[in-house]
Structure 1
Amino acid sequence: MANYFVGDIQGCFEELTLLLKKVDFNPSKDCLWAVGDLVARGPGSLETLRFFKSLSGSAKIVLGNHDLHLMAIHGKLKRANPKDHLGALLAANDIENIIDWLRLQPLYQELPEKNIIMTHAGVPPEWDLATLRQQANLVSHALQSKDYLQDLISQMYGNDIDQFSFALSPLEKQIYCINALTRMRYLTLDGRLNFNCKSPLQDCNHADLQPWFSQTSKLPDNYRVVFGHWAAIMGQTHVANRLALDTGCCWGEYMTLWHLESDQKILQPKLKDVKTS
């Protein structure tokens, strides 16, 4: 059995298909892990979701910010950005089943025998494993409730909740968890989420900001965090146990597939004849 981890797909289904052909991916014996943001920007969001849904136990995904935003769009809480090319997905005859399946997906995944954690954007340095599991599972429980749109999705937008505390209300904790696990990049020196700076590491000129993976973590030292979300750093964290896989395929760069067992990365350049805007 092989474990393959893929960076942000964002509707670039053709590139994903080519990557999986390169490694002869076999869902009967292999497992495909996806760091979230399955949809938006590329032309194949519908095909991507149908593909992962069809893989059943052979796929492990986490929700990204674009996946959560899709729920808001489908629920008529937000309007789709034309640049996200979601028309075919929203008009699909199986869209209700797809959204119901998406709501079952978590904000984090673990491969405990290999000491691997996967989230979309990372793990707050102040969270240990127990806190990560507890807070992410509370969000999953809320997403699976019948009133998820009103009780959570409609409430999750905004930048006000930028630091965690056990004194926060249950809803505030859920919003922070979504902000941290799906939107996090830079943190202030006191651990607050910064939502404004998205620059590559070498271009960030704010002395009070650090990438989340540079701050001391409460996770075990032997744990590796696999994440996406931050295309600007092009997979470079300079931290051995923090593996970034978003390499900007939807922006004209390439998609990255990491083979765990051989510790090798396989790349697929963006198909230049497929337009995303």
Structure 2
Amino acid sequence: MATYAIGDVQGCFGTLCCLLERIAFDAARDRLWFAGDLVNRGPRSLETLRFVRNLGASALTVLGNHDLSLLMAAEGLGKRSRGDTFDDVLTATDRTELLDWLRHQPLCHVEDGFCLVHAGLLPAWDVMLAQVLAREVENALTGANWREFLAHLWGSEPAAWDADLTGWARLRVIVNAMTRLRFCTPEGTMDFQTKGETASAPAGYLPWFAVPGRRSADATLIFGHWSALGLKVWPHLLATDSGCVWGGMLTAIRLEDRAVFQVPCLPEEACPLSA
């Protein structure tokens, strides 16, 4: 049995199938951990969602910012991007079942010393606290008022965590950190504008994982979201987004031995927009 962490698929279903063939995936034996953003920008979001859902216990995914954007779009909320490509999900006959399944996926997953999250964790959060905070969001997203939660999810403020935050502001900070974070100050103030390589950090900001004294450093964090960062296999950090949808590679890391498996994005699945 092997467990594979897989970077952002973003609707590149054909490429995902090639990767699973490359690792000789066996659903009766192996497990897949997806780092979020199953959908959007690539052409086959619907097939990707159906496939991962139908794998049942053989696969798990955390929620990414594009997955949440899909959930908001389905309710007429948020802002649609000109690059959105998940209309196949919104017009599908089984959209209700698929979106309900997606809404019930976790924001982070912790197991055997690993923490799987789409973007990252703020410096003040250890993995145990991150689990507790993620559960607050998961409860809101699956509770009776989940539509109201989605209606208040859009936005980048507050930009910093404060344990005294309450209500929608508290939940929004948790979501933004776990699904959008790249750079932050040592105190944990987040920047959501910069998307480039680590050298492009704004003055006073660092990559979230490079903040000295980061409290989650004792766990191995697995994340995606940052295609400009690319594949990184470090002792306590596995960055899995190797830019498939931008014409790069789709990556799987076997957690038992850190072996890396990659396949190139199929040409017809590469997003024509600039990253």
Same fold (TM over 0.5): yes
Q: Deviations over 1:91-116 (max 9, x none)?
A: 1100000011011101001122xx10
Deviation at 1:207, TM superposition (A): 3.2
Supply the distance in 2 between the matched residues of 1:84 and 1:171 (Cα, whole angstroms). Answer: 26
Output the amino acid matched with 1:105: Q
Matched AA of 2:192: F
Tell me, yes or no, if the aligned pair for 2:194 and 2:200 is still in contact at 8 Å. Answer: no
Query: In the alignment, is residue 244 of structure 1 matched against residue 242 of structure 2?
Result: no
Decide which of 130, 133, 136 is 1:135's aligned counterpart.
133
Residue identity (%): 35
- Residues 42-62 of structure 1: per-residue CA shift (max 9 Å, x gap): 111000000111011111110
| C-alpha distance in 2 between matches for 1:201 and 1:220 | 18
Unaligned runs of 5+ in 2: none
Q: Does 1:253 align with 2:248?
A: yes
CA distance in 2, matches of 1:108, 1:275: 27
Q: In the alignment, which residue of structure 1 is the partner of 2:142?
A: 144
Where structure 1 has 5 or more consecutive residues not aligned to the other structure, the ranges are: none
Query: Per-residue displacement from partner, 1:192-244 (whole Å, max 9, x unpaired)?
Result: 0111111201333x3301000001221262x100000000111248x531111
- Picking from 210, 214, 234, the partner of 1:214 is 210
Aligned partner letter, 1:96: T
Partner of 2:178: 181
Q: Per-residue deviation at 1:87?
A: 2.1
What is the correspondence of 1:90-101 to structure 2 with a 5 Å cutoff?
90-101=90-101
1:52-71 equivalent positions in 2, closer than 5 A: 52-71=52-71
**1:43 is the counterpart of 2:26:** no
Tell me how far 1:262 sits from its aligned partner: 2.5
Which structure 1 residue ranges, 4+ long, deviate > 3 Å from structure 2? 78-82
CA distance in 2, matches of 1:195, 1:83: 18
Q: What TM-score, normalized by structure 2, do the two folds share?
A: 0.94
- Give the match's secondary structure for 2:46: helix
Residue deviations 1:233-257 (CA, integer Å, cap 9, x gap): 11248x5311110011101111111
* Count of matched residue pairs: 271
Shift, 1:90, TM fit: 1.0
Give the distance between the partners of 1:40 and 1:28, measured in 2 at CA.
28
Q: 1:72 — aligned with what?
A: 72
Taking the aligned partners of 2:161 and 2:86, their CA distance within structure 1 comes to: 33
CA contact (8 A) 2:198 2:207 kept: yes
Letter in 1 for 2:123: P
2:224 is aligned with 1:228: yes
**Superposed CA RMSD:** 1.5
**Alignment equivalent of 1:158, drawn from 155, 173, 190:** 155
Q: Cα deviation per residue 1:112-157 (whole Å; 9 max; x = unaligned)? A: 2xx100000011121123311111001000000132122x111111
